[in-house]
Structure 1
């Protein structure tokens, strides 16, 4: 959940400062890869069940959307 919220928000804030669309896409791709790798590593290490990771992604994304709405206002 924290990884999803943190990396998504960082990607949003960095992409907001960049004018080049290609660089924006790269920032979002790197963020997506980092989020996926963190989730996969949690499952691989046996720390969480896959459903825990998916739930964390969903709740993190909801929190990210709320955070972005607050930032834009």
Structure 2
């Protein structure tokens, strides 16, 4: 994996949180903790987008997704 080195400034509390999480989850580096956190943020954004899209679905369309079969049939 290609990585780019960054320099960031964090509060001592944030650094402690990262280090505690790293140790508790047997991660090799603080960078892995940050990457994990960023993945979670991306997943949260995607989940929110899917929820929003699902809320916009036409209720008359839903029965056609199962070709007329009840949910229990497939």
TM range (shorter): 0.3 to 0.5
Higher relative contact order (CA 8 A, sep 6+): 1
**TM-score under structure 2 normalisation?**
0.38
Select the structure of larger CA radius of gyration: 2
**Whose helix fraction is larger, Structure 1's or Structure 2's?**
1
